[in-house]
Structure 1
């Protein structure tokens, strides 16, 4: 009888173990990885630093392009939304930047990809993300989720009574005049936080063991669409209407789908 009881207990434990394993397996198998690539262009030409580009009859050379991508979401064909928590990614191509009055040097960087992990398996038809930093984090820089940091050179003390984030920044020079003119096109402030919604031309299929991708074109020329950089080489909080127009450009025209893999 004792041996029978021991056998019964062992069999019960084995059944419970197998049951737990069976419950956990589908969850792990139901998730995949997706990459979003932000491929910078000027029109149809590849974007590059310190390279001349013709925009609106002027020749420009840029030394950095930087913007925050945040609150990333995918919407499925069943109208279910996958939201990536604490998603703050700094997309950038930049030379080195002096930070905190030169006390710290942010190194030259090129970063064009965002990886989304543990995405539920499914067929996704829409990509949603924001350009900038939401009011909660922008008004309280002690909350540093994702890649938010005061040491990356994307903060500004002149826009508000407290320090806040720069949402996007494009800087360089207009090389057309005999003496080159510095340009800086920046957005910031809570009113210029913009959400981009992109309907994918073909569904993004996510499954375990399969790497999927959304490749976006980012047209730098369209960042400054309807902005006269000769008359206004500096776009900042001192030019609120122009800053709002740049923010709208990011929302409406800058990003287009190159391909879905």
Structure 2
């Protein structure tokens, strides 16, 4: 168990450092090839920022390793206590065989008390959450390259759909909440694509991402879930800040699509064909702070999360509502300067989600 924990931590560190290495490689090449002093200074400043982020992530790895070590120690203590209980039960069987009824009753009373204490200890330890948001279009599975009919009478075919699912929070019946840390997740269905804005060719692989896993969910009883579409202003207004999966090497951040640097909250790209046969491309992007949306879904029953009870929340992310009030043939492009259309599209993303089921199974 301890060996597994250590390897997991080292693997996490490796992924973090690999990301930083890619970022450094993606910086514009330096040298006497016409680059201005300002460009060289900007490149050096970016390099220093990334090196600082690597150091911060290394410190976070060290902190998490210490936390895992404490949890491992707690688990080892619980294992030792269970072994002691097992021994006491063996002694109880011997007392039964010797017909020492009073000794048996005393032994079983002690065992029950120790097991109750262990259950309390385990119930106070963190649990986990799996959040699944399966892409669909209406009642049909969502597939890139597949043709779908919109509410406006067009047919559409998608080349990519992407969005930031952020700030996942579990809700309690008393109105208090438990926010999950570093909860920024890029949900997507994409084909392979070249990474923008780098001097060295980098390709993002084809991907279908519909699942979020959180492994340090505070033990408690919950009645619902809340999450947001987009990136909150703290991180959206400063691309040098990073948390969760936020970073600029995702083709979901740009300095040119609007008047200040910002994450792109959602991307919906593809082609359309009207009933009259007119066809073309459409590209719908959102990303200003005004486009940030929050979704709240109550659970049908309260659920318990702890080290012995896992929580799985299954959603549908229905792309069809995006076309309820927007038509790609009349609005083929949506960006930061189209505030009305961006707001409508953002509302459509907030209306994508429906709760399918909640599973609260024993481990």
8 A contact 2:122–2:306 mirrored in 1:
no
Q: Counterparts of 2:186 and 2:264 in 1: how far apart (Å)? A: 11
- CA shift for structure 1 position 185: 1.6
The alignment partner of 1:185 has SS state of strand
* Runs of 4+ more than 4 Å apart: 21-25, 176-179
Match of 1:85 in 2: 181
Match of 2:241 in 1: 143
User: What does 1:98-247 align with in structure 2 at a 5 Å threshold?
Assistant: 98-101=194-197, 103-176=201-274, 178=277, 180-247=279-346
Superimposed CA distance per residue, residues 129-156 of structure 1 (whole angstroms, 9 cap, x where no aligned partner): 1111111111111111110111111012
- CA shift for structure 1 position 239: 1.8
Superimposed CA distance per residue, residues 117-174 of structure 1 (whole angstroms, 9 cap, x where no aligned partner): 2212333111111111111111111111110111111012234333211001111111
| Relative contact order, higher structure (CA 8 A, sep 6+) | 1
Q: Is 1:74 matched with 2:170?
A: yes
Q: Structure 2: where are the runs of 5+ without partners?
A: 1-72, 79-116
Q: Is 1:94 matched with 2:201?
A: no
Q: Counterparts of 1:254 and 1:190 in 2: how far apart (Å)? A: 19
Q: Counterparts of 1:213 and 1:28 in 2: how far apart (Å)? A: 18
- CA shift for structure 1 position 211: 2.7
Q: May I ask how many residue pairs the two structures share in their alignment?
A: 243
- Quick check: 114-123 or 182-191, which moved more? 114-123
CA RMSD of aligned residues (A): 2.5
User: More helix by proportion, 1 or 2?
Assistant: 2
User: More strand by proportion, 1 or 2?
Assistant: 1
Q: Counterparts of 1:78 and 1:100 in 2: how far apart (Å)? A: 46
Computing the radius of gyration from Cα coordinates, the structure with the larger value is 2
Match of 1:33 in 2: 128
Length-normalised TM-score, structure 2: 0.62
